[in-house]
Amino acid sequence: MAPARTTDPRPQPARGPRPSAASSSRARAASPSAATALGIARAISALNVTDGTLTIDPETIRSSRLAPLQAATMPSELLACVPGAYREVMRDAIVETMKARRQLASSEKQLARLVADKANHITPPPLRMKVPTVQYVKSFIVANPDVPNAFDASVSTFQDELLTHAIQLKTAEVNFLRQSIALADPEDANGASPAFTSLLERLNERFDSVHRNAKKAVFGPPTEETHGRSTFQGWVQDDSVVSEYAAFVADVPAIITRAIAIVDDALLAEETKAEKKRNLKESAMMDVDEHITAKSIQSTIDKRVAQLLSDKKGKSKAKVSGDSPNHRINTLLMVESWIALETGKACGKASESGGLGVEAEATRKRSREGTSREESQGTARRRISIEESEERFKGERQGELTVSSPALSLRDDESSFRWDHPLTYPDWLLTVPLHVAQRYIVARTPIVVLESLRYRATIHEIECSLPREIGLHLSVGFKYMLPTKFNTDLIWKAWDDFVDRLRWSCFWKAQALDGLEDDFDPDYYVRPISRKRCGPLDWAFEHGIKCGGRAIVSMVSQIPSDVQTGGSSTIRTPSPPVSVLKSYLTSHELVVLATDKNLGCAVAPRSWIVDKTYSLLNSELDYVELDIKDVLSILRQKVRVMTDLSQWASVKDVQPQLPDYFMSQLSEDEDDLLRHIPRFYVIPKIHKTPTAARPIIPCHSVVQGPAGKFVSKMLRPVIESAPFIIHGTKDLSLKLNKLSLPYVKLDNGVLKRLYIVSGDVVAFYPNVNVPLAHDCALAALAHWFSLQDNISVDKASEYLHLFRECLSAADDNLLCQFDGKYFKQKRGLAMGVASSPDLANLYGVWHELRSEVLKSPDVAFYGRYIDDVLALVYATSETNAVNLLREGVQFTDCTLTWSASNQFMPFLDMTLYFDKSKRLQWKPYRKPLNHFERIPWISSHPLYVKKGTFIGELSRMATLSSQFDDFADACKEVADIYIARGYPPMLIANWLKQNYQTRWDTRLRETSPPRADVLVLKSEYNISWDFFNVRKLEEQMKNGWLEALRVSTFGRADTIQDLHPAVSKTKFKNTVLTDLRRNGGTLPPGSEFHPSMVGEGAYGQFYRLDKLGLLDRRFLVSKKRTTEIIDLAAAWRKSVLTRHDRQVVKVLHRKDDTDRDPSHQTTLDMWLNI
């Protein structure tokens, strides 16, 4: 830790020696005496002699009487200001008043929380209830699909009513408590509250008793008989109690008010102390040394324990187990001694003042003395030392350990101290130097938590300066997933969706003819707004569904009730405060962005983004600004084109899904179409100096988006078969692995060396000649069709016609918007259109095929990954190698830059180099300024996801390495990266040991293993899935289907032999047969299943489930991610960037409303004037 960098959030302590806890108590106890002296001084000042007459100022006398009252800080001091006769009555009144005031403060806080929950439409946890479930027959649910959710609205309304009623009751409670401590009541005739009236009645009753018994002795003058002594003459009424009571009663309101003030002061002090402790906790967690690891901490502990307990001269050494109580005891003593030493250094003369430094020195002295004893004496000494340590530890556990330092009083209850609950921190931590308090907290923080905080690092800052704590929280990265609440309803929802999808799938397959190929294409799937539920299929199918439902009920019922930890104790790790980040970023108009080259997230001000965006949009060569009329005209033209494409695809029956697919992004609302115009924004290129910007135009929801995706899908097989294209780093590794090139060669007596040449197409997309790119793609697709024997000429002609029209629709008149303004791209390909990478690739291939230099034997290898080029060239020098490609490889309207080296060259994610034997090798490449963001350990991703990403990165390292030594070094770097992100080192070591060899052995596998046909339950990440066993569900459902098929074929041996082999091996169950007889057959009446999918059984026809492959398919649970930091950052970015342009958009729309045809706002056909 670096204390010098830390700003202490607390008030700095005064210099010099501080009073101890005991001396502070004495000072507080002496304060009423000082106040009494002040009262006496004021009373004396009230005496005034004028013309020999003594006068007394009653107000000054009352002020002197109230001085000690106002100085009271606790009930006992208040009671000291009350005459003794009335203290018992006032004691009860003061205690009750102070208790009621504390209760009032608590109730007011609870009421404020309830009101806030009501305003935010949140149901407090105590009022939440589970929606009741009622069993219905399946036919009723099919006919009434809304019935299962019928209770949701009722329960929500009931919870709202409960919350309203709770607010009313809590408000009544607050008013009651306020009345109980109030002295005045406007509604009373005398203005006295019931509480004050009751108190006066008790005091008056007490006064009557005191006054009745108050007697004063009367003495007469001395006589001769008494020899000068006064003579007793009797008893008379003592009226001094009357004046005493009158003065006291006048002070009662002040006494009660002071009692309330004492509670208010205490509440304020408690809140202030709690806030300071919270700040201390945040400060301690911010300054955790990033190099703290389990190994370093345990090593320090072990060394100190060995130093305290070992006997160097003894023959037998004392062994202390890490799990033994003594190890824990001495570890605590060691930590306290360490803190004492630091305190002594911080306070200066700790050894002279009897501070903890003396205690540490005494501990070391006892250790040194113990080493000079004989073996028996040393053993006894160690035993006594351990016993003393145990007693000392017990005393500390009971809050009795007090160190002699006046600066520190270690009365710390270890059992109650929790690092994540600042209220459990001892108060003395607020009085010591900040770095000492921080180290005390860190020393008592679980190692798992300390390790999880290693992810904290710096973040890229562009023209801004972030507070340190904001930067550390943002360094968690975009991949951090926020925790979600325990929710078993997700299991039921996934099961309900799974059953419905499975029924529909089996329903359509049962009606298909033999040999009919399914023409469904998932790439053209359009999700319907609502999906009709599929009715039950035959009895055999539904029997398996029923068995699966029983398995779900069994698993859900056994899930632990502890929604936070799943019934097991876990250590909470700190998470970034999302609300704090949002508040700071939005209030300061800062935006969190991804960086070019994936170098980590960066923070930039809105002004930087606006300046960089306009610097790109103001380029007259690339963009032109449009008014709203021109934008609407282009949108209408786009809608018309997509409508024509849909109608043409429907008439020609090119593919049955295409008509709906082409219409999927159209809308009848022109404002909705305007909203879907892509928003132009930039991401920083932090590897450039000064920081540059890369334009991003997300076109995923534009009107012409389906046309671009259709073009990309059609070109996919063309791209796969095209020469020179590199499809990724693995493809490059496979191609390089097949090469065997000598480093030098003789060419007509000229010695040439092998050079690694790298090229880059500058601003490839904006400089592509779009008409030429369309012609290149059309020619390439036509050539590919000519090589396919299974596609007829007419069909190919229809596809080519549709392809040509989609090219124009996708790339013509590209629109974008920014800051309330609309722009049109004048040239090149749009970065966000799905077909742009494919068109750019084929544009390059068309030029490369016409390059004669690539046919030269001097070019041993040539490949291109979109705009990055790699070549291996034999040349006499680097200049010669560069000139060979510069002159031979040229793209129309594009500029290529080249560089060459005969040593090493980075390309994509790998570095190509020549080893000592001058053989070409490659290894992973780490980009400069890379922050190595990975899923942090504190993220809510399941463990298997974190393990999968780590193993996947090992596979990637193996692919990028040509030698095992390079792979081993890369694995170590990957392990260090994950450990730096908070992963336990031993866990990473275990994952690495189990997987590194397998990943290396399979790195050159060209074909991926065949994907198994699976049945998938779709849901999202949640703790509840950790208790779900998908294998159990699979087993129960398959057994149910097998039992149903076995019973359905009862008495039909010929049918059984034709079924799946597992059916005949299934045990026959009479209970299932009884259920079959009760249903009177299997297939429901009116079923139109294809005959090949129907079997004949003893009790009627049944559905051939075995032909669907259900018995051989695996079950999986697919869980999508929930909210991550990247999602929140996108929402914050949108909030910051659109906050200023909303009014601009409204003004533009309002200005243009008078020019629009109202008929264009009704239906799509009317809007298009069709």
Nearest CA among 1044, 911, 926, 912 for reference residue 976: 926
Banded pLDDT at 1169 (limits 50, 70, 90): very low
Q: Average pLDDT of the chain? A: 77
Locate 130 and state its tokens: 């589970």
Name the burial class of residue 1053, with classes exposed (0-12), middle (13-18) and buried (19+) by CB atoms within 10 angstroms of its CB: exposed
The distance of Cα 791 from the centroid of its chain, to the nearest Å, equals 50
pLDDT digits (tens, 9 = 90+) for 387-439: 443 444 344 333 333 333 333 333 444 557 887 788 888 888 888 888 788 88
Task: Measure the CA angle with vertex 546, ends 543 and 550; round to 5°.
Answer: 140
- Determine if the peptide bond prior to 690 is cis (ω within 30°): yes
Banded pLDDT at 309 (limits 50, 70, 90): low
pLDDT digits (tens, 9 = 90+) for 860-910: 999 999 999 999 999 999 999 999 999 999 999 999 999 999 999 999 989
Query: For residue 373, what pLDDT is reported?
Result: 43
Query: Which is higher by pLDDT, 723 or 34?
Result: 723
Banded pLDDT at 1104 (limits 50, 70, 90): confident
* Most confident of the ranges 249-253, 1153-1157, 1165-1169: 249-253
For 81, 251, 738, the CA distances from 64, given in Å and listed in that order, are: 12, 12, 103
Q: Residue 857: CB partners within 8 Å, gap ≥ 6?
A: 747, 874
What's the DSSP call for residue 424? Answer: G
pLDDT digits (tens, 9 = 90+) for 535-563: 888 777 888 888 999 999 999 888 876 55
Query: For residue 410, what pLDDT is reported?
Result: 39
Query: For residue 1016, what pLDDT is reported?
Result: 92
Find the mean pLDDT for residues 819-840.
Answer: 91
What sign has the CA pseudo-torsion 634, 640, 641, 643?
positive
pLDDT digits (tens, 9 = 90+) for 621-676: 999 999 999 999 999 999 999 999 999 998 888 888 899 999 998 887 888 888 88
Please state, in angstroms and rounded to a whole number, the distance separating the CA atoms of residues 80 and 29.
Answer: 12
Nearest CA among 158, 97, 103 for reference residue 129: 158
| Beta partners for residue 679, in sequence order | 817
Query: For residue 339, what pLDDT is reported?
Result: 43
Find the mean pLDDT for residues 738-767.
Answer: 92
Mode of pairing for the β-strands spanning 681-685 and 910-914: unpaired
Banded pLDDT at 707 (limits 50, 70, 90): very high
At 769, is the secondary structure helix, strand, or coil? coil
At 450, which amino acid appears? L
Please state, in angstroms and rounded to a whole number, the distance separating the CA atoms of residues 543 and 876.
Answer: 77
Mode of pairing for the β-strands spanning 601-605 and 460-461: parallel
pLDDT digits (tens, 9 = 90+) for 721-741: 999 999 999 999 999 999 999
Query: For residue 321, what pLDDT is reported?
Result: 40
The rounded percent of the chain whose pLDDT value lies above 90 is: 31
Query: For residue 432, what pLDDT is reported?
Result: 86
| Beta partners for residue 1149, in sequence order | none
Banded pLDDT at 946 (limits 50, 70, 90): very high
Please state, in angstroms and rounded to a whole number, the distance separating the CA atoms of residues 863 and 870.
Answer: 5
**Which spans in 1002-1069 are helix H?**
1030-1048, 1053-1058, 1061-1064
Please state, in angstroms and rounded to a whole number, the distance separating the CA atoms of residues 332 and 575.
Answer: 28
At 706, is the secondary structure helix, strand, or coil? helix
Please state, in angstroms and rounded to a whole number, the distance separating the CA atoms of residues 576 and 567.
Answer: 25
At 90, is the secondary structure helix, strand, or coil? helix
Task: Output the pTM of the full model.
Answer: 0.69
Query: For residue 772, what pLDDT is reported?
Result: 95
Query: For residue 98, what pLDDT is reported?
Result: 92
* Strand order across the beta sheet in which 601-605 lies: 460-461, 601-605, 590-594
* Three-class DSSP labels, 140-199: HHHHCCCHHHHHHHHHHHHHHHHHHHHHHHHHHHHHHHHHHHCCECCCCCCCECHHHHHH
Please give the helix or strand (H or E) that residue 25 lies within, else none: helix 21-45
Mode of pairing for the β-strands spanning 821-825 and 815-818: antiparallel
pLDDT at 1140 over 60: no
pLDDT digits (tens, 9 = 90+) for 991-1006: 999 999 999 998 888 7
Please state, in angstroms and rounded to a whole number, the distance separating the CA atoms of residues 675 and 672.
Answer: 5
Query: For residue 53, what pLDDT is reported?
Result: 63
**Which spans in 214-354 are helix H?**
240-286, 294-309, 325-347
* Most confident of the ranges 236-250, 1080-1094, 1141-1155: 236-250
The distance of Cα 1113 from the centroid of its chain, to the nearest Å, equals 35
Please, what is the angle between helix 434-443 and helix 325-347, to 10°? Answer: 170
Query: Which is higher by pLDDT, 724 or 1147?
Result: 724
pLDDT at 572 over 70: no
Please report the DSSP string for 338-354 in residue order.
Answer: HHHHHHHHHHS-TTTTT
Find the mean pLDDT for residues 1055-1073.
Answer: 64
Query: For residue 883, what pLDDT is reported?
Result: 94
Find the mean pLDDT for residues 432-452.
Answer: 78
Q: What share of the chain is helix, strand, coil (3-state, %, to 5)?
A: 55, 10, 35
Query: For residue 610, what pLDDT is reported?
Result: 92
Query: Which is higher by pLDDT, 433 or 336?
Result: 433
Find the mean pLDDT for residues 1080-1103.
Answer: 63
pLDDT at 756 over 70: yes
Locate 842 and state its tokens: 């084929």
Query: For residue 955, what pLDDT is reported?
Result: 93
Banded pLDDT at 1081 (limits 50, 70, 90): low
Please state, in angstroms and rounded to a whole number, the distance separating the CA atoms of residues 936 and 453.
Answer: 9
At 826, is the secondary structure helix, strand, or coil? coil
For 104, 137, 607, 982, 1155, the CA distances from 447, given in Å and listed in that order, are: 41, 54, 42, 11, 68
Contact yes or no for 592/464 (Cβ under 8 A):
no
Name the residue ranges covered by the structural domains of the chain.
Answer: 72-133+151-212+240-270, 288-445, 460-570+944-1122, 603-924
At 953, is the secondary structure helix, strand, or coil? helix
Rg for the chain, CA atoms, rounded: 42
Please state, in angstroms and rounded to a whole number, the distance separating the CA atoms of residues 947 and 988.
Answer: 9
Query: For residue 672, what pLDDT is reported?
Result: 84
Task: Measure the CA angle with vertex 1159, ends 1156 and 1165; round to 5°.
Answer: 115
Find the mean pLDDT for residues 739-756.
Answer: 92
What's the DSSP call for residue 618? Answer: T
pLDDT at 12 over 90: no
Locate 175 and state its tokens: 């008013």
Find the mean pLDDT for residues 747-773.
Answer: 93
The distance of Cα 480 from the centroid of its chain, to the nearest Å, equals 5
For 12, 87, 859, the CA distances from 22, given in Å and listed in that order, are: 21, 28, 88
Nearest CA among 706, 892, 717, 719 for reference residue 805: 706
Helices vs. strands in the chain: H and E counts, helices first: 39, 24
Contact yes or no for 953/1001 (Cβ under 8 A):
no
Banded pLDDT at 441 (limits 50, 70, 90): confident
Please state, in angstroms and rounded to a whole number, the distance separating the CA atoms of residues 221 and 229.
Answer: 8
Find the mean pLDDT for residues 825-852.
Answer: 92
Q: Which residues of 370-384 are buried (b: 16+ CB within 10 A; e: fewer)?
A: beebeeeebeebbee
Nearest CA among 933, 941, 937, 934 for reference residue 481: 941
Please state, in angstroms and rounded to a whole number, the distance separating the CA atoms of residues 922 and 924.
Answer: 7
Phi first, then psi: give them for residue 190, nearest 5 degrees.
Answer: -95, 0
Q: How many residues does the chain have?
A: 1170
Query: For residue 381, what pLDDT is reported?
Result: 46
pLDDT at 17 over 50: no
Please state, in angstroms and rounded to a whole number, the distance separating the CA atoms of residues 1112 and 1106.
Answer: 8
Phi first, then psi: give them for residue 1123, nearest 5 degrees.
Answer: -70, 130
Query: Which is higher by pLDDT, 130 or 866?
Result: 866
User: CB neighbours (10 Å) of residue 1091?
Assistant: 9
What sign has the CA pseudo-torsion 874, 878, 881, 885?
positive
Please report the DSSP string for 578-605 in residue order.
Answer: HHHHHHHHHHTTEEEEE-GGG--EEEEE
Contact yes or no for 95/84 (Cβ under 8 A):
no
Find the mean pLDDT for residues 1138-1163.
Answer: 44
pLDDT at 376 over 80: no
Q: Residue 372: CB partners within 8 Å, gap ≥ 6?
A: 313
Banded pLDDT at 24 (limits 50, 70, 90): very low
Please state, in angstroms and rounded to a whole number, the distance separating the CA atoms of residues 436 and 96.
Answer: 41
Nearest CA among 1072, 1126, 1129 for reference residue 1097: 1072
Banded pLDDT at 325 (limits 50, 70, 90): very low
Query: For residue 1159, what pLDDT is reported?
Result: 37
Across 64-68, 365-369, 1101-1105, least confident range: 365-369
Banded pLDDT at 1162 (limits 50, 70, 90): very low
To the nearest 10°, report the CA torsion of 1080, 1084, 1086, 1091.
-100
Nearest CA among 925, 878, 870, 842 for reference residue 735: 870
The distance of Cα 18 from the centroid of its chain, to the nearest Å, equals 44
